[in-house]
Amino acid sequence: MEAFLVTGGAGFVGSNLSIGLKREWPRARVIALDNLKRRGAELTLPRLRDHDVEFVHGDIRSPEDLASTGPLDVIVECSAEPSVLAGYGNSPQYVVNTNLGGCVNCLELARTTKAALIFLSTSRVYPMRALNDIAYHEGETRFELEKTQSIPGISANGISEAFPLEGTRSLYGATKLCSELLIQEYGEMYGLNAVINRCGVIAGPWQMGKADQGVAALWMARHVFGGNLAYIGYGGTGKQVRDFLHVDDLVRLVTLEIQKIEDFAGSVFNAGGGRKRSASLQELTHACAEVTGNRIEIASEPENRAADVPIYITDNGAITQTTGWKPEKDLSAILCDTYQWMTDYKEQLSSILAG
């Protein structure tokens, strides 16, 4: 019987992946390990249980907690302190110990159990200065990429794996990039079959959006539960752009990579929604209003916030060419699915997601 471990398994991405893996491999043992630090993670536990996913209350900073899961075939490493602002103005210890130290523990577990590893990295491995130097122009509702760029790895399709890595990127991004390098070393030294996915903004049901992480869920939550929102930075007009990947499309990708892990081992992919699934904050506001029927006032704060960038769109060319995968669900589906989840669980979510 196959055995899968999903770290951060009670979180937004982890819980959806755990359930998705159980659906694909119904006879497999699927273990979701989580420390339940993030508020709202506890709400996923009945859902995991209903889908016959084992839950282990543990922490990837503890090798003993990881070892308690037993023999494994695949580890899906998606636990993280996910805030790009982590460490700004406070201690960096938690983000470093969790994202980097925890990954080292997962690598050791993979080495000793001979398990394959799927690592969810982030677009934030790309440095802020280079991202802020991308050539773009201001359209009516969004920033648009210029067709001609002076920086390699950027085109009208977005940012590819060839984008430069020199420079600083936030502690969050740095811990993820350091983890990527170690994964590659383990692959070469120990024959570890591993795939790295540099994900853009992942969105969909069960995301407990906050101001520093989970913008689509945050925007939808304010339209459902009320609260304050602001266009922060770049003139306060809300023209910053991100692409959005439905978590179901990510589940499809991870499933495909596991099925063909030996073919894709050693690969580093950018994986996101792409140009067709991108939106500015202005456009996201309009879309949330259309879905919910609620219109709210958005404040304006022109000054840039630490670690922000004006535009990020994923170029999925490499991953589509190599694996055949590409996103299927559009932004409307992402927002409608998120809205349905919030209304279905409105009573349980109101104290967590209300502004």
Position with higher pLDDT, 337 vs 307: 337
Q: Which residues of 337-354 are buried (b: 16+ CB within 10 A; e: fewer)?
A: bbbebbeeeeeebeebbe
Position with higher pLDDT, 210 vs 329: 329
Ramachandran area for residue 36 (φ above 0: left; ψ -120 to 50: alpha; else beta): left
pLDDT beyond 90 at 263: yes
**Across the chain, how many H-helices and E-strands are there?**
14, 17
Whole-number pLDDT of residue 211? 79
CB proximity list for 89: less than 8 A, separation 6 or greater: none
pLDDT beyond 70 at 341: yes
| pLDDT tens-digit series, residues 169-205 | 999 999 999 999 999 999 999 999 999 999 999 999 9
Position with higher pLDDT, 355 vs 81: 81
Whole-number pLDDT of residue 200? 95
Confidence label for 142 from pLDDT (cuts 50, 70 and 90): very high
pLDDT beyond 80 at 166: yes
Lowest-pLDDT range, 107-121, 210-224, 315-329? 210-224
Specify the CATH number for the domain of residue 125.
3.40.50.720
Per the structure, the count of domains in the chain is 1
Whole-number average pLDDT of the chain: 97
Domain that holds residue 289: 3-353
CA angle 137, 163, 204 (to 5 degrees): 75
Confidence label for 1 from pLDDT (cuts 50, 70 and 90): low
Whole-number pLDDT of residue 318? 98
- Pairing type for strands 29-34 and 3-7 reads parallel
Continuous H helices in the chain: 12-24, 45-50, 63-67, 93-96, 102-113, 128-132, 171-190, 215-225, 247-259, 261-264, 281-292, 317-323, 331-344, 346-353
Does pTM surpass 0.95? yes
pLDDT beyond 70 at 23: yes
pLDDT beyond 70 at 224: yes
Across 4-20, average pLDDT = 98
